[in-house]
Amino acid sequence: MHWSSGDPTRSLWLIEESNELRRLIATSATMQPIHWAQQPLNRRKDTTYYNPQVKEKLDPATGLIKRRVCGTIGGDWINYPGDVAARTADMEVIKVLLNGVVSENAECKHR
C-alpha cells in the first residue's frame, strides 16, 4: 500500500486521503463521524470499515503525476433502510433509443 513508512510519496498520499475524508464529511455530508460510545446500541452491528482506493494518473499537459484517494465503505456490511437500487434500463431499450436517434438524425438532449 502507498502508506508504508518506506514510501517516499507517503506524505503526498496522506494529504490526498485527508482531502477525501474532508470531502466525505464536510463537503458532501456522505458520512458523519461519531464516537463509538455515542452510537446507539442497536446500530453497533452496522459499524463497517473505511477502504481507501488509490489511483495515480500522469497528467499529459503538465507531465506531473496526479494522485487521488477515493474512500469507500464496507458495502457487504451495510444495513441501510432506504432504497439502494440503481435505476438502470435494459440494453435492448438503450439500443432502440440510440438507433432511433441515429436513424432519424435527431438530437438526444439531457434534461
pLDDT confidence of residue 2: 52
- 4 belongs to a structural domain: no
Number of domains in the chain: 1
Distance from chain centroid for Cα 43: 23
pLDDT digits (tens, 9 = 90+) for 25-61: 998 888 888 888 998 898 888 778 888 899 999 999 9
pLDDT digits (tens, 9 = 90+) for 72-93: 887 677 777 777 777 788 889 8
- 69 belongs to a structural domain: yes
- 3 belongs to a structural domain: no
CA distances to 38, 89, 90 from 95, rounded to whole Å, are 51, 10, 9
- 55 belongs to a structural domain: yes
Overall size of the chain counted in residues = 111
pLDDT confidence of residue 98: 86
- 32 belongs to a structural domain: yes
Greater confidence (5 vs 97) lies with 97
* DSSP element (H, E) containing 14: helix 10-22
CA distances to 50, 55, 86, 97, 111 from 91, rounded to whole Å, are 33, 30, 15, 10, 21
- 87 belongs to a structural domain: no
Domain ranges, residue 50: 10-80
Question: Has residue 1 got a pLDDT over 80?
Answer: no
* 57, β-bridge pairs: 66
Range from 6-10, 18-22, 48-52 that averages highest in pLDDT = 18-22
- 54 belongs to a structural domain: yes
Report yes or no on whether pTM surpasses 0.75: no
3-state DSSP percent of the chain in helix, strand and coil, to 5: 40, 15, 45
pLDDT confidence of residue 57: 93
Burial of 54 (0-12, 13-18, 19+ CB in 10 A): middle
pLDDT confidence of residue 111: 63
